[in-house]
A and B are shown apart, each in its own frame.
Chain A
Amino acid sequence: DIQLTQSPSFLSASVGDRVTITCRASQGISSYLAWYQQKPGKAPKLLIYAASTLQSGVPSRFSGSGSGTEFTLTISSLQPEDFATYYCQQLNSYPFTFGPGTKVDIK
């Protein structure tokens, strides 16, 4: 199985900050990576797919990059509604594993 790690696991930031989350895969997954945002008590929401494609309706302050084994999710200017947990997921091969998550909290 492909393992995903995320760093940091917890991030404290202020509104307006630029935030970067890293996801690393245990083996190459090309660009088959997605990013999700999850708020407490809610289902995950797709933000980015194919490593860098912004899902329709997602604000342009979210961006993704990377390929192979290293990927990043960047929020260019953190907004109050962005405080949440972020997960990466690989869709290169079954099982479709998720990273452990990065919680973004208010500083």
Chain B
Amino acid sequence: QVQLVQSGAEVKKPGASVKVSCKASGYTFTSYDINWVRQATGQGLEWMGWMNPNSGNTGYAQKFQGRVTMTRNTSISTAYMELSSLRSEDTAVYYCARGGGSGYTFDYWGQGTLVTVSS
């Protein structure tokens, strides 16, 4: 069965960087995009960007341009999202989600990774 398993919770200081991983299993990793979505406590969902694991091509939401980097290691079917220059407003649960299919949608999601930014 398709699974996306994310790395554990992180606590970071303002100005630091965080790198969250998302390990895929149960399907061909390079056949579907990986998208990243975040959710602050009690708030809605915010799309951050996408990555094509086959080509490595990426696209980022304007809000995160210059601060986010999405990469992958195809040998271990793992995608990464690194966010730099962290501030308190970046405290949120970060999700990876598989994108693709006939209607292009996010059909499988990781369990989420809580990133807390605090001095």
A: which residues have CB within 8 A of B? 1, 31-32, 34, 36, 38, 43-46, 49-50, 53, 55, 87, 89, 91, 94-101
Contact = CB atoms under 8 A, between A and B. Distances in A.
3 closest A-B pairs by beta carbon, nearest first, are A50-B103, A49-B105, A43-B109
Interface residues of B, number: 23
Contact of A100 (B37, B44, B59, B103): B44
A8 to B, nearest CB: 15
Interface in B36-61: 37, 44-47, 50, 59, 61
Contacts of B47: 89, 95-98
Contacts of A55: 107
Interface string B85-116: 00000000001010001111111011110000
Contacts of B112: 43
Contacts of B59: 94
A89 B46 CA distance: 10
A3 B109 CA distance: 23
Nearest to B46: A98
Nearest to B107: A46
Nearest to B98: A46
B6 to A, nearest CB: 10
A46 B106 contact: yes
